Amino acid sequence: MAVSGFEGFEKRLELRFSGDDPAAGGHGLRRLEFCKLEKVLHAVQCTVVSAVGNTRFDSYVLSESSLFVYPTRIIIKTCGTTHLLKSVRPLVDHAATLGLTLCGCRYTRGTFIFPDAQPYPHTTFKEEVLYLEENLPKNLSLRKAAVMGSKSCYKWHVFTACDDDAPAEEGGDGLFTVEICMTELDRVLAKNFFRRFNDGKTGDSAGVEMTDVTGIRSVNRNALICDYAFDPCGYSMNGVDGGRYSTVHVTPEDGFSYASFESVYANREEFLEGLQKVVKVFRPAALSVSTTCAAGREVWRGVAKAVEPLGLRVRSRAADEFPDAGTVVFQTFAARRK
């Protein structure tokens, strides 16, 4: 933990592999022994606190955020002062033993609240990119790194890499990814993410209570939810809905409060409805929304109109194209009172 407070902003890593086609019944990365996953997470400096899965993928709530394992894709989000990028090389090596080859990589994060507390290589985005360049296999020759939102104090850092033959993943199945970051949460609502002293509950049972009390369950009622409440405060949730995941993480302490929501959607209307529900749960004073979709799809349109009735106005908007990702649009919003 940082001396001045806990770093809520997550680092997000997504690795895609080819081989062991799930359409042909292959289980791919899901065949990895749990002890091997645990060893990777130990290097990252986090642990599994709860888990759930279905026929499509496995979902793990971590002591610092989330892990999702699909047959040919793995997504890790970690907050605090974790060493997320140390997972790249061992995951690629483990996948190789299963006959899988890395064909795509995507790394994203926001602007750290406590950047000076971050360990190498997360000290700067330049160091992170250099570390990725050195640890990714040579076949990932199409690479790009960019910092979006340069006119805003909230920036979005994106690195992607893929090989020449890798199919465009984002949007290939009609889905697109949404990453939402919120700071300066409403103080009254943030109190819902503190546990009562000596409440006699487990992290799992307290998590179920928080999911219901805060309204998080209403964001996607079709999802199977795996939730966990930390002691004395903090909350994490993974949602499993068919082949789609969603996740929420909350650091509620006043002075550095933070909450995030990430999910995949099939259409813009569903996304905008979910966005409004999430904002109502936390009522942040500052909000950023990043959408990643196939080139040509303008799923970002309507975001400003959706949050305006909730007291938020647009501050900045930036868009860019990335190999293996498509179009990334990063928008920031602030409460009108600011």
The catalytic residue positions are 7, 10, 65, 79, 236, 249
Give the ranges where the chain is alpha helix by DSSP (H).
Answer: 34-44, 88-97, 125-135, 187-190, 203-214, 268-282, 303-307
Q: Are 259 and 284 in contact (CB under 8 A)?
A: yes
Both structure tokens of 43:
């290097």
Both structure tokens of 322:
């990335």
Q: Are 71 and 243 in contact (CB under 8 A)?
A: no
Both structure tokens of 254:
């006043």
Q: Are 85 and 128 in contact (CB under 8 A)?
A: yes
Question: How far apart, in Å, do the first and last CA atoms of the chain sit?
Answer: 29
SS3 299: coil
